[in-house]
Amino acid sequence: MAYRSIAEEEKVAAMSALSLGFGIPAKARELSKRVDTEQLRVVEVDGQFASVLRLSRMPQYWLGRAVPSGQVLSLATSLEHRAAGHGLALLEGMLAELHEAGIPTVTLQPSTARFYRKAGFEFAGAWNLYEVKCEHLPALDGAYQARRLPADDLDPIMKLYEQIAPGRHGAFARQEWWWRAALRRPHPSEDAEPVSLLLEGSDGPVGWAMLAFGSDPGNQPFGLRVRIQDWGWLPGHDLAALGALAGYRTMDSVVNWSGPDPDPFLFLLPNESIRLTRRRYWMLRLVDLPGAFGARPYPPGAAGRVVLRVSDPLCPWNSGTWALEIADGQGRLERVSGAPARSETAGTASIQGLAALFTGFAGPDELARAGLLDAADPAALEVLRAAFASPKPFTAELY
């Protein structure tokens, strides 16, 4: 069994195994055209690709700071190779590769939590889909202008995103291929060509919206559904972003978007008119404990030291007793050799529980109730509560 990347001439075979794994064998060639060979990793058994995954590397923002991270964009074991440990071996190979490259975290959208938990992943953030009827939207303020961008002109949008993303806890530091490949793909029921709008105020661009137009058969006679594939705006321009779509009020239309929880529109619209229609939780794996906890910032007021014992058989470099020191907005995780000082009680944490703590998705109290963390003493619990307090982590993308 061998974990490796592949050569260009092996791509079609790898994509065939991946597509069969997902039950869409006929799509292998079409998908091959969209996928970068460098992102593919395989486990090879007797000359065949048993399990295949697609890995990207985009940093993620935690409390405003970008930390290197990997993303498993897809993973499957080919039909004839299932339940033989190849999927897990593939993840194990990937974790060793990321560790070697100094990338301390990796995330994914799971279809099975049990399988990924075996590899040390845990739920650590969310993707939330909201809906509002256009009749509830405020009209666009005359101080703004909405300008359509040519389909391939992403520059002004990418510039705005760089300003906005650090304020989204969990957001990707997106790369250009991601904008072109993932963010502009319409659903099968939508018009093929998405529309990009730039929202301009008196001093230049303040926001954008990438729109996909589809129909909503349950919502006749017009039944328009506008899905915001992606959007963002500078602080203070929220209602303008929604207002750009207010003209569809006449058509019995609905708008969907993904956003944080709670979404700011809950506070900005006069009634509880937005509805959460779907939520998917994503998972995170801590590849390297000191790398991860040392790289993200912490709330400036949090301070203290917590000693935790961790066992991580899949990534043995994470196993051991660790002291987490938090001061002045920074954190440091160091090995404790020998027994902890007499005044300190060592708690225990599972590698999965630490993943949910790292992003602020769950606090130490919830994790203790789930049996994933035991801070051992009330003072340590207090330090962890303060250190990992944050907005709820979310990604705008379902990836």
Ligand X SMILES: CC(C)(COP(=O)(O)OP(=O)(O)OC[C@H]1O[C@@H](n2cnc3c(N)ncnc32)[C@H](O)[C@@H]1OP(=O)(O)O)[C@@H](O)C(=O)NCCC(=O)NCCS
Residue of closest CB approach to ligand X:
87
* The only residue of 13, 45, 88, 246 in contact with ligand X, by rule CB under 6 A: 88
Which CA distances in Å does 391 have to 68, 166, 236, 262?
20, 12, 19, 9
Choose, by CB under 6 A, the member of 14, 17, 21, 60 that binds ligand X: 21
Q: Give me 119's structure tokens.
A: 């590899």
What sign results for the dihedral spanned by CA atoms 386, 168, 214, 225? Answer: positive
Distance CA 214, CA 357 (A): 39
Q: Which of 8, 112, 343, 371 binds ligand X (CB under 6 A)?
A: 112
Which range in 113-121, 169-177, 193-201, 247-255 contacts ligand X by CB under 6 A?
113-121
Please tell me the distance from the alpha carbon of residue 313 to that of residue 295, in angstroms, as a whole number. Answer: 23
**Minimum distance of ligand X from residue 72's CB (angstroms):** 7
Q: Is 86 in the site for ligand X (CB under 6 A)?
A: yes
Q: Which is nearer to ligand X, 237 or 280 (CB)?
A: 280
The window from 58-66, 114-122, 304-312, 380-388 that contacts ligand X (CB under 6 A) reads: 114-122
- Gap between the Cα atoms of 398 and 176, Å rounded: 17
Which residues, 155 to 194, sit near ligand X by CB under 6 A? none
Minimum CB separation of residue 22 from ligand X in Å reads: 5
Instruction: List CB contacts of 373: < 8 A, sequence separation 6 or more.
Output: 308, 347, 348, 349, 350, 353, 354, 357, 364, 367
Local structure of 301: helix, strand or coil: coil
Residue among 76 and 284 whose Cβ is closer to ligand X = 76
Q: List the interface residues with ligand X, window 25-84 (CB under 6 A).
A: 51, 75-77, 82-84
Q: Which is nearer to ligand X, 53 or 289 (CB)?
A: 53
Touching ligand X, residues 230-259 (CB under 6 A)? none
**For ligand X, the closer CB: 89 or 356:** 89
Per CB under 6 A, the segment of 58-66, 104-112, 234-242, 291-299 that binds ligand X is: 104-112
Beta carbon nearer to ligand X, 112 or 337: 112
Q: Quick check: bond before 262 cis, omega within 30?
A: yes
| Least spacing, CB of residue 333 vs ligand X, in Å | 29
**Using the rule CB under 6 A, which residue among 11, 22, 305, 321 binds ligand X?**
22
Q: How far is CA 313 from CA 119, 291, 318, 320, in A?
A: 10, 18, 8, 11
Give least dist CB 397 to ligand X, A.
Answer: 15
67 three-class SS: strand
Please give the full DSSP string across 325-348, using - where no structure is assigned. Answer: EEETTEEEEEEPPSSPPTT---EE
DSSP code for 140: P
Q: In the set 48, 111, 311, 330, which binds ligand X (CB under 6 A)?
A: 111
CB atoms under 10 Å from CB of 354, counted, come to 27
Judged by CB under 6 A, the chain residues 195 through 234 that form the site for ligand X are none
Site residues (vs ligand X, CB under 6 A): 21-22, 51, 75-77, 82-88, 110-112, 114-115, 118
